[in-house]
Amino acid sequence: MYLKIPKECLVRQYQDTAFGYGGVYRPNVEHYVFGLSDAQYDGYTFTVTSDFGRFDTVQKLGDWYSVYVSSDDLPIVVKRTENREDGKRYKQYKFTPTELNGIYGNEYKHAVAFVSIYLNNGRRDASDVIEKKYMVGMVDGCWFLSDELKQRRRIDTNGVEILCHFPASDTVAVDNIIKEHKKKLRELDKRHTEIYCALRDLERVSFELKFKLNIPEFADVNDAAIIAKNSLEARLNKINAEIAELDTELRTELNSRYSKAA
């Protein structure tokens, strides 16, 4: 989940030691103190520790801050820290990230995207695609955000295809659809890898046998290897077809339930 906080809600920013559960601490952590945009919470703030605890990278993006929160379940405690009167007790509030986004007027649109993962190694081949994944996330304007990415990606460029939008109330249902797809895909990938490795082993055997085909026994082994190789290639093609069919089924199910338009 991402918090989208208007830049004018930043009360102050400083570096200090951050303390976590179990005595974990780290010095020189960037702290961001944010206020709430609703007048009824005037003087109330919460602190974000960048890259520590449940918070991840804090990015300033134009007129707002993007804050990644690793847990949607744990509430964020908001306390009265500004303009306090001596001796007066103030109520504390607890909000989920979704509730805070609502207070800031920045409710995201939920979506499923097909995302290309790049090598991104800082070299000439950094733009090579190493994997493509279906992800559940949120859309903010031209940006797609997902817990799996931990960084925003531009839609319709940089390898992000939005498949559908869905209401927040369907988040668990859509999550389950994607998880079931990934489970079936892992099973197919495992079978594909096993057969692919066996095929490579056979190709090495065939390469060595071609120098000994004048010996009848080796010629028989080579014939058997060719038959096995053809059988394995047919099985690979069948698995590739099953993977393509699995993708088609997922897209069809999402399209039948939800609209691509926001």
Q: What is the pLDDT averaged over residues 222-237?
A: 89
Give pLDDT, residue 216.
74
The tens digit of pLDDT for each residue in 93-149 reads 999 888 888 888 766 678 999 999 888 777 887 788 888 999 998 887 788 888 788
The tens digit of pLDDT for each residue in 161-170 reads 999 998 877 8
Q: Categorise residue 13: left if φ over 0, alpha if ψ from -120 to 50, beta otherwise.
A: beta
Q: Are 252 and 157 in contact (CB under 8 A)?
A: no
Greater confidence (36 vs 56) lies with 36
Q: What angle do CA 125, 130, 134 make, to 5 degrees?
A: 140
Average pLDDT, the chain: 87
Q: CA nearest 73: which of 41, 103, 99, 35?
A: 99
Greater confidence (73 vs 194) lies with 194
- Residues with Cβ within 8 Å of 76's Cβ and at least 6 positions away in sequence, in order, are 46, 69, 94, 95, 96, 97, 100
- Residue at 218: amino acid letter: F
At 18, the pLDDT band (50, 70, 90 cuts) reads: confident
At 22, the pLDDT band (50, 70, 90 cuts) reads: low
Q: Are 195 and 239 in contact (CB under 8 A)?
A: yes
Lowest mean pLDDT among 54-58, 91-95, 132-136, 255-259: 54-58
Q: How far apart are CA 76 and CA 103, in angstroms?
A: 13
> Is 36 a residue whose pLDDT tops 70?
yes
Q: What is the pLDDT averaged over residues 36-41?
A: 89
Question: Residue 38, Cβ neighbours under 10 Å: how many?
Answer: 12
> Is 150 a residue whose pLDDT tops 70?
no
Looking at residue 75, what DSSP letter applies?
Answer: P
Q: Are 138 and 145 in contact (CB under 8 A)?
A: yes
Q: What is the pLDDT averaged over residues 28-48?
A: 92
